[in-house]
Every structure is written in C-alpha cells, then in structure tokens.
Amino acid sequence: MDASCLDAFVDALIDDLAPVPPEGDVGPRLGRLVDCPRPVVDDEALLGVLAAAVSARNLLDFVIASAVVAAERAGVPGRRHLCTGADVLRLLGMAPGAAARAVRVGRAASSLPALTTAQRLGGIGIEFADAVGKGVAHVESRTPLSDEERATVVRALMVQTSPAEVAAKARAIAIDRGASLAPADRVVPVAENATLNEMTLVQNAEGRFEATLDLDVGTGEELCAALDPLCRPVPLPDGSPDPRSVDARRAEALGQVLRTYLSQSRRPMSGGVLPHVTLIRPVAPGVTAGNSGEVVDRLGFGGPISAATAELIACDSTLTSVIVDHAGVPLDVGRAQRLFTPAIRKALAVRDGGCAHPGCGRPVSWCDAHHIHPWSAGGATSVDNGVLLCRLHQSLIHHGGWQVYLGPDRHPWFIPPHTPEGAEPEHLRSHTRRTMTDLPTAA
C-alpha cells in the first residue's frame, strides 16, 4: 500500500460521508447512518462504525508517527528548509501540540516494541502511547533500565486505563526504584524538586492579575491544605446552593490566605516595613492617573481602581491609606483611630460570632471589620458602627447592592438589593440572631 491507496481510501470515505439528499437515501451509506440514524434499528451499525473508526484513527496516527520519523531519517525536513518533522506536520495543517506528540511517539517506537505492536493493531491511541513513552522516559531518567527492565515497565504502564494513570504509575515506579539505589546515586524526582518551582504574575489589559504556578508536590500539597478549609460552598440566605464555581471559591480562598498572612506581625519585611496593601487617595476624591486627566484612587501595585473597590479595601485592617494631593505628593499616611482596635474586634467577635451576613457564619479569623457607616462619610470606629464580614459578603455590601444597619437589638440587620422604585424587601437578621424580636434579651 502506498500514498495512492491511502488517497483512494480517503476519497471513498469522503464520498460515503456526503450529505443525505432531501428525498432520502436508504442505502447502506455512512452518510445516511450518521445524518439520519434510526432509533434501535441502527444501534449495532453505529456501534460498529465507532469501533472501526477508533481503530482506524489509532492506525492512522501510528502511520503519521512512523512516517514523520522516517521523513526525518531521510532528511526531508532539511531539503524543505525546515528543522524537524514536527515542522513538516504543521505545514500540512496539523496543530503544533499534535505534531510534537506524533514525533515523540515515532522516535520512541524503536525502543518500545511492545507498545509499537499494540499501535500496529490499532489497539491504543497516540495519546496513550505518548503517555507510556513519557512514563518510560521519566523512570529511565532516574534509574538506568536494561532492555528487559524497560519491557517490564512498559507492561506495567500499558495496563493502566488513561494517560493520567500512566503518569502516576510511572512516578510510583521511579520512586520505588530510586529508593533501592545508594544515596549518592539517587536523583530527586521532578515532582519533588523544589528548585524547579516557578511562578509568573502579570497584570492583563483589564487590570486583573493572572498567575501561573509550577510547584513541587510538597509545596502544592501545602497550598491545597491551606485552601481546602476555605473553599467550602456557602449557601445563600434563602438556603439555595452557593452559585460560585469551584474555581471562584478557590480564588477567594487564596485571597483569604493572603489577607491572613498580611495581618500577622511575624513575616518578612519589604523595604524595612511589614508588607501591606497601600491605597493612594486624594484630598478631594481621585488622583490624576497619568495624563488622561481622569481622577481615580489607585493601589501601590495594581494601579487605578473604582471608588467602590477603594472603599472595600479601606475596610481591611491591614491597609495603609495614603492621602495625596493632585500631584501625587503624600499629605497624610492615615490615622490610627480609623482602624478597628483589637479590643473592638474582640467585642465584634463576641457579638457577631463570625461573618454576620445571613446564612454565612464564617469564622472570625476569615472576617474583616467593616464600618456600617463609612469612615470616609464620618462614621466612627466603634462596636455599634462595626460588623464582621467575610470578603465575599463585604463585596456584596460594596458592589452587590446589599445594605447593613444596626437594629434596635444592637445587632446587624441586612437589606437585600432592590430597585429604588420597588418595594423594600424584608430585612434579614444577622447570622447569630435566631428570632425576629427586637428585645435585647432575645437570642
């Protein structure tokens, strides 16, 4: 079989997949089967097509991997002014990742005969074959393998059911084999090598921060342990499930870990002072941002922010608020009376018992002390003007239209979002208030 045979097969397949004509084609064409399947009647035919197509895909992937490596051996890329076989495949329209995978699998075929035999029979896909090849390379990079040992490792990896399980099994084999070596000959597994840790942190065009982490398994485990208790779903006040996705809860948990860290006194110093969030504010609202003439509040690292977010950040006790004039010259670095003292926080903790928002109750250590009547509008720093809120529900106060006030029972009460022209919704008691009475002795 040569290229002409493959071309004939492809042409026949294209013809057979032509759309079914309006008058209906009842012949045994593949196009009719996939465009107009008949319930029950075509079940076996469809399953047969799927099985044959998967085997054909596996075989064709093997042909591509074998042919591209053969092209490299014959020097085809160089004569086409290309570097590698992957460049040839990309030129033919294959995605870069798929092209690189095909070359990897083709190059590893000669050293993995058992894997190659399974591919020639159409029994495994190229993704699985690539995972096995990577797994063998992972083991071999840590402990030398003889031909017999390599074949044993291949057999152990091929009984797995997915590429992820292959990778996990390869790591386990490498660790097990490495433990039997003399200490001087042992190599630190990549998953446990802390010297390879990397983190990128960039601010995108919208002003948001994007981070990418590459951590060793120990540091990653510590990160998971720190985030896990903070990621639990929190039902809404009406009892409906938490609408936030897992990713959103994880991001909020990371923010809580950072705020808890910044609130501690025993931590590394930056520029001779403890690291903290710096909010740069003007005497009159706003500070000129660049040459645009727009006046806004801004953060030391993050740059311009909205007034609502500035007020949200201003509630955090780890903040330094810097007052600047129109030229950005500092005039004042804040007042101690603006922050809730440890004694007031303790009183709020006794009264609120954690986040006071209805249905929440997150622990005190997760909460910020929030001014009910904003400090910037003349509010005092006192127990009666304070409420403990987790960052999620503090955001709802600043951005979500929720309102909070101190009721006659001297406990926080909340007003859900509503339109000015609409009827005001029923006020909701704080998390720690179980009754609607305003009697001071009621729970």
Task: Determine the Cα angle at 174 with ends 172 and 179, to 5°.
Answer: 100
Burial of 349 (0-12, 13-18, 19+ CB in 10 A): middle
Residue 175 sits in the same domain as residue 87: yes
Instruction: Evaluate whether 322 touches 332 at the Cβ level (below 8 Å).
Output: yes
User: Helices 126-140 and 113-120, interaxial angle, to 10°?
Assistant: 180
Q: Is the sign of the CA dihedral 4, 5, 6, 10 positive or negative?
A: positive
Question: DSSP letter at 84?
Answer: S
User: Is residue 439 in a domain?
Assistant: no
Render pLDDT for 179-205 as a digit per residue (tens, 0 to 9).
Answer: 666 666 656 666 666 777 888 888 888
Helices (H), 121-196: 126-140, 147-158, 163-179
Residue 54 sits in the same domain as residue 128: yes
Instruction: Evaluate whether 339 touches 317 at the Cβ level (below 8 Å).
Output: yes
Q: How far apart are CA 202 and CA 200, in angstroms?
A: 7
Render pLDDT for 277-316 as a digit per residue (tens, 0 to 9).
Answer: 566 666 554 444 444 445 567 665 556 666 666 666 666 5
Residue 323 sits in the same domain as residue 416: no
For residue 75, the model assigns a pLDDT of: 92
User: Is residue 440 in a domain?
Assistant: no
User: Is residue 436 in a domain?
Assistant: no
**In sequence order, which residues have a C-beta less than 8 Å from that of residue 53 and are 6 or more positions away?**
none
Q: Categorize the per-residue pLDDT at 233 as very low, low, confident or very high, splitting at 50, 70 and 90.
A: confident
* Closest to 141 (Cα-Cα) out of 177, 106, 117, 111: 177
Render pLDDT for 387-408 as a digit per residue (tens, 0 to 9).
Answer: 999 888 888 888 888 899 988 8
**3-state SS, residue 299:** strand
For residue 267, the model assigns a pLDDT of: 53
Residue 53 sits in the same domain as residue 112: yes
User: Is residue 11 in a domain?
Assistant: no
For residue 439, the model assigns a pLDDT of: 47
% the chain with pLDDT above 70: 74
Residue 130 sits in the same domain as residue 235: no
Average pLDDT of the residues in 330-356: 67
Ordered strands of the 412-415 beta sheet: 403-406, 412-415, 428-429
Rounded to a whole number of angstroms, the distance between the first and last alpha carbons of the chain is 85
User: Is residue 226 in a domain?
Assistant: yes
Q: Residue 234 — left, alpha, or beta (φ > 0 → left; ψ -120 to 50 → alpha)?
A: beta
The total domain count for the chain is: 4
Judged against a pLDDT cut of 90, whether residue 65 lies above it is answered with yes
Residue 41 sits in the same domain as residue 165: yes
For residue 69, the model assigns a pLDDT of: 92
| Secondary structure percentages of the chain, helix, strand, coil, to 5 | 45, 15, 40
Which residue, 190, 216, 236, sits at the end of a domain?
Answer: 190
For residue 341, the model assigns a pLDDT of: 72
Judged against a pLDDT cut of 80, whether residue 231 lies above it is answered with yes
User: Is residue 8 in a domain?
Assistant: no
Residue 369 sits in the same domain as residue 321: no
User: Is residue 408 in a domain?
Assistant: yes
What is the chain's mean pLDDT, rounded? 77
For residue 438, the model assigns a pLDDT of: 47
Residue 130 sits in the same domain as residue 198: no
For residue 20, the model assigns a pLDDT of: 64
Q: Lowest-confidence range among 161-175, 216-230, 314-328, 372-386?
A: 314-328
For residue 201, the model assigns a pLDDT of: 86
Average pLDDT of the residues in 146-172: 87
User: Helices 113-120 and 147-158, interaxial angle, to 10°?
Assistant: 40
Residue 98 sits in the same domain as residue 201: no
Which residue, 190, 216, 239, sits at the end of a domain?
Answer: 190
Average pLDDT of the residues in 210-223: 80
Q: Categorize the per-residue pLDDT at 272 as very low, low, confident or very high, splitting at 50, 70 and 90.
A: very low
Q: Lowest-confidence range among 4-8, 296-300, 428-432?
A: 296-300
Which residue, 234, 249, 270, sits at the end of a domain?
Answer: 270
Judged against a pLDDT cut of 60, whether residue 45 lies above it is answered with yes
Residue 300 sits in the same domain as residue 260: no
User: Going by DSSP bridges, is the β-strand pair 287-288/277-282 parallel, antiparallel, or unpaired?
Assistant: unpaired
Judged against a pLDDT cut of 60, whether residue 435 lies above it is answered with no
Judged against a pLDDT cut of 90, whether residue 103 lies above it is answered with yes
Q: How far apart are CA 274 and CA 214, in angstroms?
A: 27
Q: Categorize the per-residue pLDDT at 21 as very low, low, confident or very high, splitting at 50, 70 and 90.
A: low
The model's pTM = 0.47
Q: Which residue in the block uniquely carries the two structure tokens 């009910």? A: 372
Residue 106 sits in the same domain as residue 163: yes
Q: How far apart are CA 54 and CA 46, in angstroms?
A: 12
User: Is residue 21 in a domain?
Assistant: no
* More reliable by pLDDT, 90 or 138: 90
Instruction: Evaluate whether 433 touches 409 at the Cβ level (below 8 Å).
Output: yes
> Whole domain around residue 147: which residue ranges?
37-190
Residue 92 sits in the same domain as residue 167: yes
For residue 34, the model assigns a pLDDT of: 77
Average pLDDT of the residues in 344-367: 82
